């Protein structure tokens, strides 16, 4: 019903809904609506091609599908191999023009590897399920649909657009200095950045994403003297590794809470001995109740809203770690493949205001700012320090990263229409 209403409004070129839109913008609206079935078919082909982050051939195959869509639109498309980071690579497409450079960001990979039983696109009415249907193959299709509409309207001709679709957003290759080198460079060259992860929707209201929190991993290793449990707490043995670990984690819980901050503990083990695998996903431990534990290991994540908050909280965590119990030690190590925050800025808010001007002219409801604590990290964090950025421009959906991930196909229409008009106006400097 929502799609029918949207299309009726946007096709009424002599009605109030499009009273403020230009003739080219009306062409964009009609083109997106007319090509809806085509875009759903493209989404189905992409979803049915597994592209888990570690399925390097699958990621490249989705990149080839995207290349086939972009080259006929006049884009120069290249594949940046990322074998040195252990990942497939990235698709980068450029369309030179006289307008201001607009960077479009998305990703080709999903969290669903080839051995996951959730593999196929299925559609029931306006709802589709499938691996990556929303995160982020739906977003890639929104980009393509918007650009096709711009070509039909003639607004693509002079548009200066760069597209970066990473192949490892869900499981980033290392080191970051290589795996995100091209994205960072594109951000520095851009006038605006638009990221096409899932649209935020609550109570049937669309929201704008002007901020995202960071995502960084940490590993905490505590050690202590081991021996018979009858000596625990004495001057010789002290407290052991598990008590030291418990002190630190409870210190995080009690001393650090503040808005937009979380620090989850995802896995933990302690004993004599205890160990963690190279990937940081699996821990092992053994011990007896009458032995003071020699080692404890925990791994978790840290999510912050700004670079200042991130640095301050890291320092606070380290201060807690350093206050050792007697005869114990502990080491806190932060990972090297984390995502920086996309902090809320006035520039980002101004971009949302530009999008809301589009919404008003197209007869769509305005979009309020979405709570960043309710969003995950994304590749937009790597460019947000250098360029005004707006996120969440992909399709609406839910259950991301889980079997049953779904997308609202009606949202593919309004998101592509919004994007086509917004990109055109930003490129030409129109308000």
* 382 closest CA partner among 183, 172, 163: 183
Q: How confident is the model over 225-234, as pLDDT tens digits?
A: 999 999 999 9
Q: In this structure, how many other beta carbons lie within 10 angstroms of the beta carbon of residue 354?
A: 19
pLDDT class for 19, splitting at 50, 70, 90? low
- For residue 9, is pLDDT > 80? no
Q: For the chain, where do the domains classified as CATH 3.30.70.360 start and end? A: 216-334
Q: How confident is the model over 161-173, as pLDDT tens digits?
A: 999 999 999 999 9
Q: For the chain, where do the domains classified as CATH 3.40.630.10 start and end? A: 2-213+341-428
* 45 closest CA partner among 116, 115, 121: 121
In sequence order, which residues have a C-beta less than 8 Å from that of residue 178 and are 6 or more positions away? 82, 84, 85
Span 216-334: which CATH code?
3.30.70.360
- Report the C-alpha gap between 380 and 382 in whole angstroms: 5
- Report the C-alpha gap between 201 and 205 in whole angstroms: 5
pLDDT class for 3, splitting at 50, 70, 90? very low
The token pair at 406 is: 């779904």
Q: How confident is the model over 363-414, as pLDDT tens digits?
A: 999 999 999 999 989 999 999 999 999 999 999 999 999 999 999 999 999 9
Predicted local distance difference test score (pLDDT) of residue 336 = 81
Whole-angstrom CA distances from 257 to 181, 213, 373 are: 33, 15, 13
Architecture of domain 2-213+341-428: 3-Layer(aba) Sandwich (3.40)
């Amino acid at each position: 019903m929502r799609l029918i209403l949207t299309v009726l409004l946007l096709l009424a070129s002599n009605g109030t809904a499009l009273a403020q839109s230009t003739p080219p913008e009306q062409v964009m609206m009609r083109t997106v609506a007319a090509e809806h079935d085509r875009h759903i078919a493209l989404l189905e082909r992409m979803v049915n091609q597994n592209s888990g982050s570690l399925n390097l051939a699958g990621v490249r195959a989705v990149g080839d599908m995207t290349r086939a869509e972009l080259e006929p639109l006049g884009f120069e498309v290249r594949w940046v191999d990322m074998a040195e980071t252990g990942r497939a690579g990235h698709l980068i497409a450029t369309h030179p023009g006289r307008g201001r450079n607009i960077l479009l960001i998305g990703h080709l990979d999903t969290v669903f590897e080839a051995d996951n039983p959730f593999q196929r696109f299925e559609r029931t009415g306006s709802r589709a399920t499938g691996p990556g249907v929303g995160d982020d193959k739906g977003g890639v299709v929104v980009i393509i649909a918007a650009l096709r509409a711009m070509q039909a309207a003639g607004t693509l001709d002079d548009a200066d657009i760069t597209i970066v679709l990473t192949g490892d957003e869900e499981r980033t290759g290392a080191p970051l200095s290589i795996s995100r080198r091209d994205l960072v460079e594109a951000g520095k060259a851009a006038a605006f950045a638009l990221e096409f992860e899932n649209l935020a929707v609550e109570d049937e209201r669309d929201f704008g994403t002007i901020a995202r929190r960071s995502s960084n991993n940490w590993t905490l290793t505590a050690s202590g003297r081991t021996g018979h449990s009858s000596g625990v707490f004495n001057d010789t043995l002290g407290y052991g590794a598990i008590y030291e670990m418990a002190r630190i984690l409870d210190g995080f819980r009690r001393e650090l809470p503040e808005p937009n901050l979380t620090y989850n503990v995802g896995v933990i083990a302690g004993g004599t001995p205890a160990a963690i695998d190279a990937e940081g996903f699996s821990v092992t431990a053994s011990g007896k109740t009458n032995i003071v534990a020699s080692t404890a290991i925990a791994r978790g994540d840290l999510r912050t809203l700004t670079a200042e908050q991130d640095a301050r909280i890291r320092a606070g965590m380290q201060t807690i770690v350093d206050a050792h119990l007697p005869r114990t030690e502990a080491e806190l190590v932060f990972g090297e493949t984390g995502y920086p925050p996309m902090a809320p800025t006035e520039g980002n808010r101004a971009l949302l205001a530009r999008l809301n001007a589009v919404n008003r002219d197209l007869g769509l409801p305005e979009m309020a700012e979405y709570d960043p604590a309710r969003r995950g990290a994304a590749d937009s964090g790597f460019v947000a320090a250098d360029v005004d950025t707006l996120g969440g421009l992909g399709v609406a959906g839910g259950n991301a990263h889980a079997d049953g991930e779904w997308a609202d196909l009606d949202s593919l229409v309004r998101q592509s229409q919004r994007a086509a008009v917004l990109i055109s106006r930003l490129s030409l400097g129109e308000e």
